[in-house]
Structure 1
């Protein structure tokens, strides 16, 4: 019996998934069906903010699960940055349904996604640390090199050359100079 159940599950997983009805329509459960105006009205209320934050994280995770060539659509963007970007969008588009706004954000994130599983690397400098996928760290180094900052070889470990390049980039951009690939720096490089 258990073996049959496992075989049935495997067969079902092999079937193509339909994301909508034949007309391209689908039901939206939870706060994703609410308007952007409703989202911005609860940003300062912990329970409302949490509901949208949790729904967004679930939607982003589902995107990772069901989209080819995507391991992580938000490889360095923490939940608070996603909510901040959604707040900017929703203030400008109060009548848009929240799921449509989050879908627009996802489309803007596609070029910066991590395509394949990549180990998380603890990047440490001056007693602080951030975690970044190894593939994202290589891309960062390559992009800094392309922008004229000598960050060393893309496959090199986090080292002095990358720290110097990050510090110079941060200084040139008017950011807090940490020498780390922190959220403010990555958001400046990959808006």
Structure 2
């Protein structure tokens, strides 16, 4: 049986801010909007227990990742002062974070986990449009926003792996950091490295 799940809990601050941008500003109206029932569509209405049971690489997991990507995009559009909540996180990483939440909260619905993910990502979001930069090591290339690349350099310095200002220096510092952390030494700001360095 297909159920339409209705969210009835107060929205987290990040979502409340997005909602406030599209609603009247009076406190009574804002409070009413934050707590009103709403319908959750698509894979977001599945239970977390079901989410955890979805087969890796299966159709349900693929549709769930597409739903989550759309959920984030909607927040990019609606949240004032946010350009990109997921400045470097891939859908696969986001799904991994959702799995952590759902494993701990099997009775919640997936959309609730997505709300928590938005709240977690908001302080780390890009607040304005940014240039994408290609970092190359041999034939491998990673695209990363320039502000994220600055965070990578700062993170490397904080970890004791200062990088020269050129690309070769960055690759050398990343390779040294990755080796010290037991990561694959790609010399690139890949997902595994960013997840460790920018946590």
Between 1:87-96 and 1:71-80, the stretch displaced more is 87-96
- Residue deviations 1:133-185, cap 9 Å, x none? 11111121122122221123xxx4x5122112111111111101111000110
Match for residue 180 of structure 1?
A: 188
Match for residue 93 of structure 1?
A: 105
**1:114 aligns to 2:126 (yes or no):** yes
Higher RCO by CA contacts (8 Å cutoff, separation 6 or greater): 2
- Residue 180 of structure 1 aligns to a residue whose secondary structure is coil
Aligned with 2:96 (options 84, 88, 102) = 84
Aligned with 1:37 (options 34, 49, 56) = 49
8 A contact 1:112–1:190 mirrored in 2 = no
CA RMSD of aligned residues (A): 2.1
The verdict on how the C-alpha distance between 1:108 and 1:22 changes in structure 2, with shifts beyond 3 A counting, is closer
- Residue deviations 1:26-68, cap 9 Å, x none? 3222221221112122234622112211110110001111112
Match for residue 22 of structure 1?
A: 33
Output the TM-score relative to the length of structure 2: 0.79
Q: Which runs of 5+ in 1 are unaligned?
A: 1-14
Aligned with 2:172 (options 164, 168, 175) = 164
CA drift of 1:189 comes to 1.3
Output the TM-score relative to the length of structure 1: 0.82
8 A contact 2:136–2:188 mirrored in 1 = yes
The verdict on how the C-alpha distance between 1:135 and 1:23 changes in structure 2, with shifts beyond 3 A counting, is closer
The verdict on how the C-alpha distance between 1:23 and 1:107 changes in structure 2, with shifts beyond 3 A counting, is closer
CA drift of 1:104 comes to 1.3
Aligned length: 173
